């Protein structure tokens, strides 16, 4: 999850108390498309999430709503239960019925959700919020459709068949070559007489190639 890699990389970014403003926080505003914000007192949880989504090439809310936590309920794919990496939007009753907070889920219990977010105690931290505050979870990427999965499965099967066919041909050719080296391929054959050690290395190399191909086919099958 590229967006989570970017999010974790920002952990520890914090505001600067006083008249100065954190260059790291201002960079989040800029990367989220809101370079017009030039202070770190403006609520920046949306800038943090937006910057991570932008860095991963994922959709974001409209520019004018990008700093509003609840705007992130309008993008991505809704998911019913918490999922590591999902966006979570929370209510902020202390700031009014239209206020919200947004971050990324990193874990949960029956009562709380752990959130990696910006502007949490004026920094990028992991904080725990009651699940009663959750307004919704959204997965940043589109969910795969049945057609997408079918296409992916076809590509995996095609590639597995190609690699498997190559392995069979290599094994067959290797067996023929090994037989020729050992027997001289019959009367009148001109097969080279390789030293025993080289013959063993050749056979081992062929066996290794076959095992690698088999492992690839099994991986593709299990992933699909």
Q: Convert the pLDDT of each residue in 69-111 to its tens digit.
A: 999 999 999 999 999 999 999 998 776 667 899 999 999 999 9
Secondary structure class of 131 (helix, strand, coil): helix
Q: What is the mean predicted confidence (pLDDT) over 165-188? A: 53
In the 8-state DSSP scheme, what is residue 137?
A: E
Q: Which token pair is 129? A: 């919020």
Q: What is the mean predicted confidence (pLDDT) over 26-32? A: 97
Residue pair 49/103 in contact (Cβ under 8 Å)? The answer is: yes
- The rounded percent of the chain whose pLDDT value lies above 90 is 58
pLDDT digits (tens, 9 = 90+) for 138-175: 999 987 665 665 665 555 555 556 655 665 565 566 55
| pTM score | 0.66
Residue 199 confidence (pLDDT): 46
Is pLDDT of 193 > 80?
Answer: no
**Count of other CB atoms within 10 angstroms of residue 22:** 18
């Amino acid at each position: 999850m590229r967006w989570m890699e970017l999010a974790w990389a920002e952990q520890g970014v914090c505001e600067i108390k006083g008249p100065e403003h954190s260059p790291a926080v201002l960079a989040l505003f800029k990367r989220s498309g809101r370079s017009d914000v030039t202070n770190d007192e403006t609520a920046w949880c949306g800038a943090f999430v937006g910057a991570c989504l932008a860095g991963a090439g994922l959709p974001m809310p409209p520019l004018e709503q990008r700093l509003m936590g609840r705007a992130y309920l309008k993008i991505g794919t809704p998911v019913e239960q918490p999922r590591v990496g999902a966006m979570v939007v929370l209510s902020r009753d202390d700031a009014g019925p239209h206020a919200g907070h947004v971050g990324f889920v990193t874990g949960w219990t029956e009562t709380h959700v752990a959130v990696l977010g910006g502007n949490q105690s004026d920094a990028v931290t992991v904080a725990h919020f009651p699940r009663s505050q959750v307004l919704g979870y959204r997965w940043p990427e589109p969910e795969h459709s049945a057609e997408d999965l079918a296409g992916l499965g076809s590509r995996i099967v095609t590639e597995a068949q190609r690699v498997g066919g190559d392995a069979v041909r290599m094994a067959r050719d290797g067996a023929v070559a090994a037989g020729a080296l050992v027997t001289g391929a019959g009367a009148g054959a001109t097969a080279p007489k390789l030293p025993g050690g080289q013959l063993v290395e050749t056979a081992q190399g062929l066996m290794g190639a076959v095992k690698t191909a088999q492992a690839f086919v099994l991986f593709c099958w299990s992933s699909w």
